């Protein structure tokens, strides 16, 4: 069977599930769970197939280095209800939901509150990496609040992670609607405690967090006055999105840099499979790729797949540390490495190794490539595996004939549903979020029913294929940047940012300021 990378998020997040150098080696995580639609970094391996699942999310540091000094916050907890929608006795159970707050810039009790809708991971990652919020807060006189998503980080129902993920009965409270109700309840309590009932609240998020931001504005417009959604693929569900579009866009990213590079990488999978099938071939791979002790040449295809997918997602114009330390425009640099390598001949393996080196060892600090088993330092996998196979059923599964990932993989919803049922023991609900929040005829629906939503999408980002790419009204605005990558606007600014990125962030700030001006006018609040 073929090889598939099903990119689901999340969105998202991030960071940790991709690759990192540990102990002088390059890490790839390989697992053997049933395949799900979305995961931060997951490879299912068997004698017949290798499937990897990628995800996305919001935020990044200023260039892969230390967290900027301006990122300072207090950690607090809110007593959250387990179930907002039922009156059964079990619904009244509570858990401690973590949130981070910085009120340094908050000018008054009518000044804005910028709320980050926590994605599928530890909330500190978002606070440390969502530079746009930190840079906008002083200009807007805003308070910053980052609230953690239930079942992630330290916000665990039932007393802890083990109990929270014990079985379907405990995991069943992990849903989008419960998470949004958490945020609504939290915001009302926060404003009451601050004696700031008139403070406008804007919600921001990237990737899955961006989806939550949009849905929060739609579901609770009386609580949230605006939403900034970066790289939010709210149209990536069945019937709304082309299931081949994600990987087609990724393929186009590489083609645009070098047709030769694309062809080498596209054809490399067959060669790797052929070599792995024999002892002689495995020996050749071992001599070409310097795998760390305890690692196997079987890890090489997964390493390459990850590098190709994540380089396309994070094809940022400046150096970054979102997934691993990367140079500016990593797709371009990987293709340059492919085109320049080969030992003077046409050695595909040397070219593949060179491409992997750009992604996994840009700094030169790793002495070998290492495949590592289970590693989930930021607590993403258990929760996202559940969400991705219950209701966050994202349509990013098909590989077309021209895909850089070969061989082709025809999309089949029945197979997806069956694999998710096997993984969770429950039938997934692939149409539920479209029912809950809409999606069909999105332009006309939002024009009639919504306002104050800002979408950003960079067209280098494969996730943009499920994003809103056209403005819908004067206050539902889509900013689209052909050279942009995944939530690049949410990263900290840099002196090396291209002019188009500086313009995007400035425009986003002006739009937010316009919303606030209108809010204060409508509420007759003097600023």
Cα–Cα distance measured from residue 371 to residue 352, given in angstroms and rounded to the nearest whole number = 17
The residues annotated as belonging to the active site are 207, 461, 486
In the chain, the N- to C-terminal Cα span, in Å, equals: 63
pLDDT of residue 169 exceeding 50: yes
pLDDT of residue 455 exceeding 50: yes
Q: How many helices (H) and strands (E) does the chain have?
A: 17, 14
Domains of the chain: 74-237+438-523 (3.40.50.1820), 242-429 (1.20.120.980)
311: CB partners within 8 A, 6+ apart: 326, 330, 331, 334, 358, 359
Cα–Cα distance measured from residue 451 to residue 480, given in angstroms and rounded to the nearest whole number = 18
Least confident of 75-84, 146-155, 362-371: 362-371
Cα–Cα distance measured from residue 489 to residue 502, given in angstroms and rounded to the nearest whole number = 9
Cα–Cα distance measured from residue 499 to residue 497, given in angstroms and rounded to the nearest whole number = 6
pLDDT of residue 26 exceeding 60: no
* Average pLDDT over the chain, rounded to an integer: 87
12: CB partners within 8 A, 6+ apart: 40, 55, 56, 57, 58, 119, 120, 121, 207, 208, 209, 384
Between residues 452 and 55, the one the model is more confident about? 452
Q: What is the pLDDT of residues 48-106, one digit of tens each?
A: 222 223 333 333 444 445 788 999 999 999 999 999 999 999 999 999 999 999 999 99
Per-residue pLDDT averaged across 143-153, rounded? 98
Q: What is the pLDDT of residues 104-142, one digit of tens each?
A: 999 999 999 999 999 999 999 899 989 999 999 999 999
pLDDT of residue 431 exceeding 50: yes
pLDDT of residue 32 exceeding 50: no
Q: What is the pLDDT of residues 176-202, one digit of tens each?
A: 999 999 999 999 999 999 999 999 999
Torsional class of 210: left (φ above 0), alpha (ψ -120 to 50), beta (otherwise): alpha
Cα–Cα distance measured from residue 208 to residue 505, given in angstroms and rounded to the nearest whole number = 20
pLDDT band at 341 (very low <50, low <70, confident <90, very high): confident
What pLDDT score does 345 carry?
A: 55
List b or e across 458-489, with b for residues whose CB sees 16 or more CB atoms inside 10 angstroms.
Answer: bbbbbbbbbbbeeebeebbbbbbbeebbbbbb
């Amino acid at each position: 069977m073929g090889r598939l990378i099903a990119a689901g998020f999340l969105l998202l997040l991030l960071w940790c599930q991709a690759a990192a150098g540990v102990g002088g080696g390059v890490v790839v995580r390989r697992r053997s769970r049933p395949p799900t639609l979305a995961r931060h970094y997951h490879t299912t391996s068997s004698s017949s197939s290798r499937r990897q699942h990628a995800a996305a999310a919001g935020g990044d540091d200023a260039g892969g280095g230390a967290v900027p000094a301006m990122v300072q916050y207090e950690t607090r907890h809110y007593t959250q209800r387990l179930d907002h929608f039922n009156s059964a006795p079990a619904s009244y159970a509570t858990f401690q939901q973590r949130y981070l707050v910085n009120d340094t810039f908050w000018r008054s009790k009518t000044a804005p509150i910028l709320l980050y809708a926590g994605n599928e991971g530890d909330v500190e990652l978002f606070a440390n990496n969502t530079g746009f919020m930190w840079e906008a807060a002083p200009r807007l006189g805003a308070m910053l609040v980052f609230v953690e998503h239930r079942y992630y980080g330290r916000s665990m129902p039932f007393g802890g992670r083990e109990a929270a993920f014990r079985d379907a009965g405990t995991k069943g409270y992990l849903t989008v609607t419960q998470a949004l109700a958490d945020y609504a309840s939290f915001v009302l309590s926060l404003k009451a405690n601050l004696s700031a009932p008139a403070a406008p609240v804007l919600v921001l998020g990237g990737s899955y967090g961006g989806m939550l931001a949009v849905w929060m504005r739609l579901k609770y417009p009386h609580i949230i006055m605006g939403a900034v959604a970066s790289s939010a693929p709210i149209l990536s569900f069945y019937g709304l999105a082309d299931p081949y579009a994600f990987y087609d866009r990724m393929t186009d990213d590489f083609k645009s840099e070098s047709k030769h590079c694309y062809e080498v990488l596209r054809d490399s999978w067959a060669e790797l499979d052929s070599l792995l099938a024999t002892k002689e071939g495995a020996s050749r791979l071992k001599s070409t790729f310097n795998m760390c002790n305890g690692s196997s040449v079987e890890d090489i295809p997964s390493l390459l797949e990850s590098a190709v997918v994540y380089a396309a997602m994070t094809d940022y114009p400046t150096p970054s540390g979102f997934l691993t330390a990367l140079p500016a425009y990593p797709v371009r640099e990987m293709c340059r490495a492919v085109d320049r390598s080969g030992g003077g001949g046409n050695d595909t393996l040397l070219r593949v190794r060179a491409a992997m080196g750009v992604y996994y060892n840009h700094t030169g600090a790793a002495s070998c490539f290492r495949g590592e088993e289970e590693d989930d330092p930021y607590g993403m996998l258990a929760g996202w595996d559940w969400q991705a196979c219950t209701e966050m059923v994202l349509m990013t599964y098909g590989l077309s004939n021209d895909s850089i990932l070969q061989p082709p993989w025809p999309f089949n919803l029945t197979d997806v549903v069956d694999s998710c049922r096997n993984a969770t023991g429950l039938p997934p609900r692939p149409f539920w979020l479209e029912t809950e929040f809409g999606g069909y005829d999105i332009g006309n629906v939002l024009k009639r029913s919504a306002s104050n939503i800002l979408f950003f999408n960079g067209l280098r980002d494969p996730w943009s294929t499920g994003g809103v790419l056209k403005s819908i009204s004067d206050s539902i605005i889509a900013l689209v940047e052909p050279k942009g990558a995944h939530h690049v606007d949410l990263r900290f600014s840099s002196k090396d940012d291209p002019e188009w990125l500086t313009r995007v962030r400035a425009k986003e700030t002006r739009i937010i300021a316009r919303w606030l001006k209108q809010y204060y006018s409508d509420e007759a609040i003097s600023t």
